[in-house]
Amino acid sequence: MDHDLSTPQGRRDALQAMDWNQPAEHHETLRRMFAAETQLRRDQFAGRAEYTGDDLYENLYLAAFLLYRVGDLSDALLLADAKFRTDWDTRIGFDVQFLLGAGAPETLDLLRAQGDANDVRYIEECIEAGDADDLPGWERFRLAYFRGG
């Protein structure tokens, strides 16, 4: 993959070029891109970076979706940190489902052991409200959304 991952446009191009059915092939690259997008959001929120525009603003969510599809439990802490500690928009707009790629019980166990108790309570409330009842349906919706259809 020959994209400049140091820029939002380069990350967008790389995300679009990936095989979304085989995201595990790019797991480490996805982690790096997700971390860069999270930091960009934090910098934008703090006034240290310019807003990149709506199209590039979705990079964070697309990278999160592909990490969800990888289904590696170790990504749950990274995803939770982004959801709960990036900015107000991310706290609201970052679907809790992104955190559950390895399964809700497994994710909650990990976050109980290593995460923040407030994060755990919020996720438990979302699950109790039915937000994780149809993860395959949510995944189909997100896939169609990111593909523009």
Using one digit for the tens of pLDDT, what is the confidence trace for 19-60?
Answer: 999 999 999 999 999 999 999 999 999 999 988 777 788 999
Assign residue 84 a region (left: φ > 0; alpha: ψ between -120 and 50; beta: otherwise): alpha
**Residue 56 vs residues 77, 114, 138: alpha-carbon distances, Å:** 24, 31, 22
| pLDDT at 52 (0 to 100) | 79
* Nearest to 119, CA basis, from 87, 91, 89, 88: 91
**pTM assigned to the model:** 0.95
For position 64, what pLDDT does the model report? 98
Instruction: Say what the pLDDT of residue 1 is.
Output: 61
The dihedral region occupied by 134, where left means phi > 0, alpha psi between -120 and 50, and beta the remainder, is beta
115-142 residues labelled b (16+ CB within 10 A) or e (exposed): beeebbebbeebbeeebbeeeeebeeeb
Mind listing the pLDDT tens digit for each residue in 118-135?
A: 999 999 999 999 999 999
pLDDT of residue 38: 97
Q: Are 20 and 66 in contact (CB under 8 A)?
A: yes
Asked whether residue 149 carries a pLDDT value surpassing 90, the answer given is no
State the Cα torsion 125-130-135-141 to the nearest 10°.
Answer: -110
Q: Give me the pLDDT at residue 55, please.
A: 73
Nearest-angstrom CA–CA distance, 24 and 73: 13
Percent of the chain scored above 70 by pLDDT? 99
Domain regions of the chain by residue span: 8-147
